[in-house]
Structure 1
Amino acid sequence: MRVSERIGLVGRILWWRLNWERRDLDYRPPGTLDPRFMTAREAAALVPDGACCLSSGMAGNARCSTLLWAIRERFEREGHPRGLTWIAVGGQGGRGRAPGSVEEVGLPGLLERFVSGHVETTKAMLAMADAGRLELHVMPQGEMCFALEAQGQGGDAIESRTGVGTFLDPRCGRGSPVTPGAQLQLIEPAGDKLRYRLPKLQVAVLAAPWADAEGNVYFHDAATITEMREAARAARANGGRVLVTVAGIIPADPARISLPAELVDAIAVNPRQEQTILSPQQGFLPLFTPDGDGDDAAAIEKLRFINRFLKLTPVRGPIECALARLGAHVFAQAVQPPAGVNIGVGFGEEVCRELYQSPLRPDLTFTTETGVYGGLPAPGIYFGAAVHPERLESSAWVFRHYQDHLDATVLGFLEVDATGNVNVSRRGPRFMDYVGPGGLPSITASARTCLFVGTFMQGAKWALEDGRMVLQQAGRPKLVDTVSEVTFSGREALKAGKQVWYVTTVGAFRLGADGLVLEIVMPGLDVERDIRPHCGLRFALPEDGPQVAPASVLTGENYRLTWGTGAGG
């Protein structure tokens, strides 16, 4: 990247940081427009007390900031609306730091109940839960999308095998409630399945790029679509309201209309609205759209620079890079081409980068749960978007696509136990430590091969010496006898005939009928000296002992992936 480009990106970042709290809630575009066009404050006045609301978007993509600010301001000024139930399918928080996220409505009295797939970033809601002032629920993102879709079609609930045998299953777990004494249970047993439902949606709060003067809404030039269509149809079917914030008004184009005017009640124009974090919609980044310039290398370098500059994502050192290469090595051995692949946040992104830059790339189609299809899933703060996707679909579409076409998923983990169960949802005992299941239960229910990638110990220190992995200081085991919470059931995965791998700093374990088997070990490590004493679960070895990973996995030298054999070198 040229110096001038770096300076330009730094300027964009500084401008964004200095202006991220600026807002004009009374802005009304000039000209003769459909009556649906109103100020953000006027739109916020349409939200009744006790309503069930939903905001769209995920992470830094398509945030509904101006409407969220207006709803919060109205409550602080008038005490209304109050007692809301709020639904956010994907993670939409600002970690208690960035303004304009769904945390704007995280106030006692304003919010009574919060339902989401991923709650780790919504620190305001978690603090309320810790204080006993919020009823907190979690559900798998796929089933949330399907339940919204069902409401739009006049239904009430959907049935699914997703979540059976996990904490989501009331027969062996708590179901949807995270906080005690919850008024609702949104997940119920239904034979060998689970029945999922959402509260009846009454207000959909959406962020789209554009509208025309007649009140039609357009999604083109967005970075993600998520659940906007499903939410609008659900709110309308329930007799509710649809509030949309857009960045500007464009000429009508009947062929490109995404939400017809009859599905919309209010449109608030916010000229400063973002396409994604750091990128105003009116100066949107084409690299996140199907119509981009296709220069993947330049786009990836740009996003890496932004992530490194902001220091909001972990810095990956040589050990973490070796772990990502091992994950790609196992993927190349375990998965058959051509393959549809879902990529999760964290180490999943690092494995994806190795695969994307490898000779395997032509046989791979990457996706994420936001509905982006093809391209390279964007890293770090841009997770949920993709670099030069083939197309953008809704979240419901992609989760349904997964049911028949998902060959593999690469995800992270917090804990793994002796029966292959995985915990990604609970970091610790407090509600402030809670993460939620995200899309993992829905994704792993569909995937034929599941790869979980993470460090072997928390806080351990490793070194690479002469092409060998060396343990310098042990840490806290992440492979344990029993996980704190079962987000993924190893037993159910085996019953479904899935292939499951756990790729760690010390090597790769495969899930067998009797538990974990250490199939691959990193060069330089001794099983009895370096692995077994620091593992909190019993694992088996193959009859001939584990394979030693190729030296190139550690060093990166002569690292080249081949289907069926993995890495050479």
Structure 2
Amino acid sequence: MTKIISARQAAGLLRDGMTVGVSGFGAFASPDSILEAIREKFREENSPRDLTIVSGVAPGDFVEDGCGLSKIRDEGIISTLIASHLRMSPAIGRACSENKIAAFSMPLGVYGQLMAAIGGKRPGILTHVGLNTYADPRQDGCKMNDLAKAQDREIVELVRLDGRDYLFYKAFPIDVCILHASYADADGNISLQDEPVHGDLLELALAVHNNGGTVIVEVKDILEPCSLDPRHVLIPKFSVDYIVKAQGENNIALAYHPEMTGDLRAMADSVKPLPFSYKKVIARRAAMELKKGDLVNLGIGIPASVANVANEEGLSRDVTLSLETGVYGGVPLDGPLFGAAVNPDSISRSADAFTVYDGGGLNMTVLGCAEIDMAGNVNVSKFSGRCVGPGGFVNISQNTPKVCFAFAFTAGKCDIAVEGGKLVIRNDGKAGKFIKACDHISFSSQFAQETNQTVLFITERAVFELRDRKLILTEIAPGIDMEKDVLRLMGFRPEISPELKLMDERLFRPGKMGLSFGE
């Protein structure tokens, strides 16, 4: 029978060295009250310590003292982190990068499906996702730093079946999980009624419960038995051991947003257009690749801004934009609310979304990138000394027929304006993103060639296509000196298309572009 306990009592259930599952997708579903109680208990008693934390996009909001794993950033609490994205909590990301926490990172779609496999007591999952990338044991085997490599832990192995290579991600035991949801009744049924993101809560709960572990759920309120709408109950009472009423939440993602849950329909113009800038130029150029009726995934950052452009141009109703959280339709959001959308068509679980994605259900994706090499390999998961992890990037980029990477041409502080229909570079970023060879591969151009993917690299000043594992420069921005502003800043020399043309002049003018699917 489910028991109601305090956050401090929940923290008392954790023992040193345990493996603990923690819900969250960025700021969403972060069990902040229990995490705070864990931190306070550690500071008073030096326990629990040396925990292995298992999560998808490990909770955080990019704020130093923010939500999620930032609550348990004290050195000694976490010894190992297994997550798809490691850096939503800046302090935890640094600890992984500085080799203070052993860091493993598997693709997000693999994580959700692996939790389901653990819940079903299967030995793991067999998939093509991650082949020829850092996840492949022939490269790093999901190990993100030296501490991870020093552990006697292999979470993935290469398997040959019917003449083809696959990766086998292995099941492992999880002692406890800590989840956040909207409501519980006193019997322990868990409702996600107010949640714009459903994530992998059910998969994680069953992975723990079905293997004899302890399931703890933090909720906004606890209600009378049988008082919840059964249509919103995701986790049934038999799989919940303890419930905790959250205290003093200040996480914007845990607040009620009716326009994100479908309880209210916001006006389209309630989503304000992006300010006119070089970043908007990138998002606009990516939006030009949308086709009527397409199912499209958008990544975080500049790619998420494609949703804003599509809304401004009146295209949103004729294309379905989606997120790996399981949200379809509407206008996907960015920043700490990335993962949700205003006016979504539907909200499903993340693991279900990756069944669609892995099965080739997407027509196109727009993703970011940190490094691109001369063969067209892309790195988003470990660069500039930072362990980041790919999130859903690997699943999405490997299984989508058309991949558009949308990103700024250089990294670092810059002063780039859009004036008079031209790009004006006053002060460029110091770090180049186009390098000779990627040491860490998140997207394999070899895999892309074998699966006949169409791949574009879209920046504010140039557009490239990937052909036969070579980058071809196909478009350049007005006002740009090709040699000085593009080629000189690359670690290799791309081929120049004989049909090289200027990027569409409408990209560089304020006001609507007048995009339509008739173009």
| Separation of aligned partners in 1, 2:66 and 2:511 | 44
3-state SS in 1 of match to 2:369: coil
3-state SS in 2 of match to 1:482: coil
Stretch moving more, 221-230 or 192-201: 192-201
1:278 match: 252
With over 3 angstroms needed to count, the CA separation of the structure-2 counterparts of 1:254 and 1:462, relative to structure 1, is: closer
Q: Check if 1:205 corresponds to 2:178.
A: yes
Task: Determine which of 408, 411, 424 is the counterpart of 2:364.
Answer: 408
With over 3 angstroms needed to count, the CA separation of the structure-2 counterparts of 1:255 and 1:457, relative to structure 1, is: closer
3-state SS in 2 of match to 1:209: strand
Q: Say whether the 8 Å CA contact 1:129–1:179 is kept in structure 2.
A: no
2:219 match: 246
Task: Determine which of 158, 164, 167 is the counterpart of 1:189.
Answer: 158
1:327 match: 286
Task: Determine which of 473, 476, 479 is the counterpart of 2:434.
Answer: 479
2:234 match: 258
Q: How far is the alpha carbon of 1:241 from its aligned partner? A: 0.9
Q: Say whether the 8 Å CA contact 1:372–1:393 is kept in structure 2.
A: yes
Deviations 1:392-422 (A, max 9, x none): 2111111112123111111111111111111
Task: Determine which of 482, 491, 503 is the counterpart of 1:527.
Answer: 482
Stretch moving more, 237-246 or 154-163: 154-163
Q: Say whether the 8 Å CA contact 1:456–1:504 is kept in structure 2.
A: yes
Task: Determine which of 247, 250, 259 is the counterpart of 1:287.
Answer: 259
With over 3 angstroms needed to count, the CA separation of the structure-2 counterparts of 1:338 and 1:111, relative to structure 1, is: same
Pairing 1:409-488 to 2, within 5 Å after superposition: 409-429=365-385, 433-458=386-411, 459-475=413-429, 476-488=431-443
Pairing 1:86-101 to 2, within 5 Å after superposition: 86-95=53-62, 97-101=64-68
Q: Could you tell me the TM-score, scaled by structure 2's length?
A: 0.91
Q: Check if 1:496 corresponds to 2:468.
A: no
Show structure 1 runs of 5+ residues with no match. Answer: 1-33, 305-314
Which structure: greater strand fraction? 2
Stretch moving more, 264-273 or 436-445: 264-273
2:501 match: 547
Task: Determine which of 239, 244, 248 is the counterpart of 1:268.
Answer: 244
| Separation of aligned partners in 2, 1:564 and 1:534 | 36
Code of the residue aligned with 1:253 in structure 2: it is D
With over 3 angstroms needed to count, the CA separation of the structure-2 counterparts of 1:95 and 1:529, relative to structure 1, is: closer
1:516 match: 471
With over 3 angstroms needed to count, the CA separation of the structure-2 counterparts of 1:416 and 1:280, relative to structure 1, is: closer
| Separation of aligned partners in 1, 2:123 and 2:2 | 32
| Separation of aligned partners in 2, 1:322 and 1:133 | 39
Task: Determine which of 231, 238, 241 is the counterpart of 2:204.
Answer: 231
With over 3 angstroms needed to count, the CA separation of the structure-2 counterparts of 1:156 and 1:350, relative to structure 1, is: same
With over 3 angstroms needed to count, the CA separation of the structure-2 counterparts of 1:83 and 1:541, relative to structure 1, is: same
Q: How far is the alpha carbon of 1:238 from its aligned partner? A: 1.2
Task: Determine which of 562, 565, 568 is the counterpart of 2:516.
Answer: 562
2:268 match: 296
3-state SS in 2 of match to 1:229: helix
| Separation of aligned partners in 1, 2:407 and 2:94 | 28
Code of the residue aligned with 1:392 in structure 2: it is I
| Separation of aligned partners in 2, 1:207 and 1:464 | 44
Q: Say whether the 8 Å CA contact 1:117–1:139 is kept in structure 2.
A: yes
Stretch moving more, 234-243 or 505-514: 505-514
| Separation of aligned partners in 2, 1:278 and 1:175 | 32
Q: Say whether the 8 Å CA contact 1:159–1:194 is kept in structure 2.
A: yes
Equivalenced residues, count: 507
Q: Say whether the 8 Å CA contact 1:84–1:110 is kept in structure 2.
A: yes
| Separation of aligned partners in 1, 2:144 and 2:155 | 8
Q: Say whether the 8 Å CA contact 1:93–1:119 is kept in structure 2.
A: no
Q: How far is the alpha carbon of 1:489 from its aligned partner? A: 0.9
1:355 match: 310
With over 3 angstroms needed to count, the CA separation of the structure-2 counterparts of 1:345 and 1:252, relative to structure 1, is: closer
Deviations 1:234-282 (A, max 9, x none): 00111101100111133243444221111100000125446xx33664x
With over 3 angstroms needed to count, the CA separation of the structure-2 counterparts of 1:195 and 1:564, relative to structure 1, is: farther
Q: How far is the alpha carbon of 1:143 from its aligned partner? A: 0.5
Q: Say whether the 8 Å CA contact 1:474–1:534 is kept in structure 2.
A: no
Q: Say whether the 8 Å CA contact 1:53–1:205 is kept in structure 2.
A: yes
3-state SS in 2 of match to 1:516: strand
Q: Could you tell me the TM-score, scaled by structure 1's length?
A: 0.84
| Separation of aligned partners in 1, 2:395 and 2:185 | 36
Q: How far is the alpha carbon of 1:219 from its aligned partner? A: 0.8
Q: Check if 1:538 corresponds to 2:493.
A: yes
Q: How far is the alpha carbon of 1:142 from its aligned partner? A: 0.8
Q: How far is the alpha carbon of 1:447 from its aligned partner? A: 1.4
Code of the residue aligned with 1:401 in structure 2: it is V
| Separation of aligned partners in 2, 1:201 and 1:286 | 34
| Separation of aligned partners in 2, 1:468 and 1:135 | 47
Task: Determine which of 203, 222, 240 is the counterpart of 2:195.
Answer: 222
Stretch moving more, 105-114 or 378-387: 105-114
3-state SS in 2 of match to 1:561: coil
RMSD over aligned Cα atoms: 2.3
3-state SS in 1 of match to 2:76: coil
1:12 match: none
1:340 match: 295
Deviations 1:425-449 (A, max 9, x none): 22313xxx22111210011122111
| Separation of aligned partners in 2, 1:107 and 1:465 | 47
3-state SS in 2 of match to 1:232: helix
